[in-house]
C-alpha cells in the first residue's frame, strides 16, 4: 500500500537533511543560551540595584554591632570608631566566636599572648584568655592595641594596620630596610601579600562605614544633646 512505502533518499539528500537538522539544533541552542544569559544579566542587575541601597548595605554587608562598645573604647583610646568597625569586619565579620588557624580569637582576632601583654599594660587583673570571646573585652583590648600602634606609628594608618596584621616588629624592620618614613602610603610596597590585601580591605571598609553611618551618628548625637537640653530646661 502507498502508506507503507518508505521514501528513499540519496546520500547527498541525507547529508543535506542532517546539516539542516544540526543547523536547527544550533539555532535553538543559541536562542536558549541567549535567554538564559539575559535572565542572568537581569538578575545580576536587580541584585546590584538592591545591594546599592544603603539600608541593605547596613543590614547585610556592613553591620555595626556592638556600636556602644566601639564608640566607648574608640573615644577612650582616641581611635576612629569606624576604623575599629572596619577592623572587626575584616578580621571576623562581627563573629564573636571566630578563631583563626593561627589561634587568633574573637571579634578583633587577638592572639592570646598579645592579649596577655595588653592585660598587663591595662593592669587588668581579671583577664583570662577565655574572655577574648566576650565582645566587650575583645573590643576593649583590640581598640587599645590599635591606639598603641597609632601612637607608635604617628597616626599613619597604613603602618599601624600593617603592624596589627603582620606584627610591629616586621613593620619596624621594613621601615629600616626600605627607608620608609612615617608618611609612608605605598600599600603595594608591603612585602607580605596578605598584609597588603588586609590594609587595603580595612581602609576600604573604614571609608564605607563613614559613608553609611557618620550622618546617622551625628543625627543621633544632635538629638541626644537636644533631649538633654530639654530635660535641663524643664
CA distance 179 to 174: 8
Say if CB 94 and CB 107 are below 8 A apart.
Answer: yes
Catalytic residue among 91, 123, 157, 197: 91
Helices (H), the chain: 11-52, 54-56, 67-76, 81-92, 112-122, 135-152, 157-166, 168-178, 193-233
Q: If you search the block for the grid coordinates 538629638, which residue do you land on?
A: 223
Q: If you search the block for the grid coordinates 603582620, which residue do you land on?
A: 166
Neighbour-count burial of 39, counting CB atoms closer than 10 A to its CB (0-12 exposed, 13-18 middle, 19+ buried): exposed
Q: If you search the block for the grid coordinates 593561627, which residue do you land on?
A: 102
Is 91 marked active-site? yes
What is the 8-class DSSP label of residue 53?
Answer: S
Interhelix angle for 135-152 vs 112-122, to 10°? Answer: 80
Terminal alpha carbon distance of the chain: 110
The residue among 72, 104, 64 whose CA lies nearest residue 88 is 64
Residues forming the active site: 91
Amino acid at each position: 500500500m502507498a502508506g507503507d512505502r518508505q521514501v528513499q533518499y540519496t546520500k547527498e539528500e541525507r547529508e543535506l537533511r542532517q546539516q539542516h537538522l544540526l543547523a536547527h539544533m544550533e539555532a535553538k541552542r543559541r536562542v536558549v543560551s541567549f535567554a538564559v544569559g539575559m535572565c542572568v544579566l537581569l538578575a545580576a542587575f536587580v541584585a546590584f540595584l538592591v545591594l546599592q541601597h544603603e539600608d541593605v548595605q547596613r543590614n547585610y554587608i556592613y553591620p555595626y554591632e556592638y556600636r556602644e562598645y566601639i564608640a566607648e573604647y574608640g573615644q577612650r583610646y582616641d581611635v576612629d570608631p569606624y576604623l575599629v568597625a572596619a577592623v572587626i569586619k575584616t578580621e571576623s565579620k562581627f563573629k564573636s566566636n571566630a578563631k583563626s588557624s593561627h589561634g587568633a580569637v574573637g571579634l578583633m582576632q587577638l592572639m592570646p599572648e598579645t592579649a596577655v601583654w595588653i592585660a598587663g599594660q591595662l593592669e587588668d587583673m581579671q583577664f583570662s584568655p577565655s574572655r577574648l570571646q566576650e565582645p566587650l573585652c575583645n573590643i576593649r583590648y583590640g581598640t587599645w592595641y590599635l591606639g598603641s600602634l597609632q601612637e607608635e606609628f604617628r597616626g599613619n594608618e597604613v603602618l599601624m594596620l600593617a603592624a596589627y596584621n603582620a606584627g610591629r616588629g616586621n613593620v619596624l624592620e621594613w621601615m629600616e630596610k626600605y627607608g620608609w618614613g612615617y608618611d609612608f602610603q605605598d600599600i603595594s610596597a608591603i612585602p607580605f601579600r596578605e598584609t597588603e590585601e588586609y590594609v587595603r580591605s580595612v581602609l576600604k571598609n573604614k571609608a564605607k562605614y563613614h559613608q553609611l553611618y557618620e550622618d546617622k551618628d551625628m543625627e543621633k548625637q544632635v538629638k541626644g544633646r537636644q533631649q538633654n537640653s530639654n530635660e535641663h530646661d524643664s
